[in-house]
Amino acid sequence: MKRSPKRTAVIILPVALFLALVPALLEAAADPADIVSFDRRHFESRGLVRDGLDLLYEKDGRVYAVVTPEDIASLVSRGVAFTIETARLAPSAGRTASAAGGLNGAFHSAYELDTELRLLADAHPQLVRLQEIGTSLEGRPIQALKISDNPGLDEGEPAILFLGCHHAREWISVEIPLLLARHLLENYALDPEVRSLVDRGEIWIVPLVNPDGLEYSIHVYRYWRKNRRANSDGTFGVDLNRNYGYQWGYDNVGSSPVPGSAVYRGTAPFSEPETEAVRRLFLSRDFRAMVSFHSFSQLILYPWGYVDLPTGKEAELSTLAHTMSALMAAVRGAVYVPGRASAALYTTNGDTADWTFGVSGVPSFTVELPPEDTAGGGFFNAEAEIEAIFRENLPAMLYLTNYAFLSSPDGGIRPRLPGTLRRSPPRLPLIKRIDRDLPSAITMNQ
């Protein structure tokens, strides 16, 4: 996407000037891909939680959000002093504007992913079956890979599910599960750990839950988040990660009933074909764990998200999240902060992990991929980083897969540490805490 240079401006307006200046502000913010930041205290004191703002994260006491011109007008009318941050993001955004790879560079579009999955399946027919688990609103296939020995047979083995790209603009979240599939298939013959996992269970990988949204993000509006549902009020999109059926619509903070909101939950649980496809798949197999990849902010989140309370398996989920975080940090030092989803600044209802945990009790995680923040590039991961991000996630994913296949169907604990962790226990001196008293992140990317 071509970006015009943006000026950074701190805008603090007395209300008296509001009406006179709104047209100029809208002009300044005419590019819909603006990010602003404002003091966190405004977020709490001026009702912004319920405003349906497209929030990204919090850092150093400031909340970052993607805004439309209408949002800007709303912030101004509430007397919120904000800073336009978009100019600071432009250099990192530019890194992905590869002419060679088209608009999306090394990242996969829906069509490119379909081609890739077909090639993978054709190259490894003894290890993988490509299955269309549903069709998006605009008619695109939602594809799953089942990776197992004897993939054409139903051997009743335990299964694990990896999901990518519920949110359209989180392009990196397609690539990590795709690379995981490739790694398993290409290393089966060489790597005893991979072979053992593939032989013992079923590894299901759905790299792209939201193909319509991804296409829209590539070709029309890079910051698009939701699917492409035409809502009754003329707006578009349901937030697929608010459309799952466990405590769906529990309150209007964790999701929104307003169709135009970035976190609109839809008209009913599983109203969207994309979430319905995941629902059907999940209930059809003996899944023992689930990971849903998102970006960004480097977090490993586990239920509950809908309410700030621990599940009955807090100790198990926390131990798993901390272990995965340690395995990730051991690769090249990147810290993925583990924590309960609801312990961030506010709650999230209708998300994938609450539902898979709520209906099955199996370990369920939202992994927020890099970078940590917008200063690190936000949604614009450098193409050169894709492989490295995959590499730092791989040991944790293999660990969780092994854990899942050893666990009993009722989700009981039989942990076993992988060899790498036994050899050199990584230390966690830099783990930040997600805590109500000491919030270091908000997680609207999830």
Backbone angles phi, psi at 65, to 5 degrees: -145, 150
Q: Nearer to Zn ion by C-beta: 323 or 352? A: 352
CB of 165 to Zn ion, least distance (A): 8
Q: Nearer to Zn ion by C-beta: 213 or 259? A: 213
Cβ contact 356:290 at 8 Å: yes
Given the residues 368, 383, 385, 392, select the one marked as catalytic.
368
Q: Nearer to Zn ion by C-beta: 170 or 215? A: 170
Q: Nearer to Zn ion by C-beta: 80 or 444? A: 444
Alpha-carbon separation of residue 50 from 21, 55, 264 (angstroms): 25, 11, 12
Q: Is residue 368 among the annotated active site residues?
A: yes
CB of 416 to Zn ion, least distance (A): 31
CB of 352 to Zn ion, least distance (A): 10
CB of 377 to Zn ion, least distance (A): 16
Instruction: Provide the H-helix boundaries in 52-85.
Output: 69-77
Task: Give pairs for 19-27: CB < 8 Å, separation 24+.
Answer: 21/76, 22/73, 22/76, 25/72, 25/73, 25/76, 26/69, 26/72, 26/73
CB of 241 to Zn ion, least distance (A): 6
Binding site for Zn ion (CB under 5 A): 167, 170, 294, 445
Q: Nearer to Zn ion by C-beta: 124 or 167? A: 167
Q: Which pair of structure tokens corresponds to residue 137?
A: 């609103």
Cβ contact 299:434 at 8 Å: yes
CB of 97 to Zn ion, least distance (A): 22
Whether the link from the prior residue into 365 is cis, omega within 30° of 0, is no
Backbone angles phi, psi at 170, to 5 degrees: -95, 65
Alpha-carbon distance 132 to 134, whole Å?
A: 6
Q: Which pair of structure tokens corresponds to residue 270?
A: 């599983």
Residue 34: which H helix or E strand, with range?
A: strand 34-39
Radius of gyration of the chain (CA): 21
State the residue for tokens 């490509």.
Answer: 130
Q: Nearer to Zn ion by C-beta: 288 or 294? A: 294
- Percent helix, strand, coil in the chain, to 5, is 40, 15, 45
Residue 132: which H helix or E strand, with range?
A: strand 128-135
Nearest to 360 by CA among 281, 306, 269: 281
Q: Nearer to Zn ion by C-beta: 386 or 444? A: 444
Alpha-carbon distance 93 to 405, whole Å?
A: 40
CB of 446 to Zn ion, least distance (A): 5
Q: Nearer to Zn ion by C-beta: 294 or 340? A: 294
Q: Which pair of structure tokens corresponds to residue 412?
A: 């009981």
CB of 348 to Zn ion, least distance (A): 10
What is the CA 405 to chain-centroid distance, rounded? Answer: 24
Alpha-carbon distance 298 to 212, whole Å?
A: 25
The catalytic site residues sit at 368
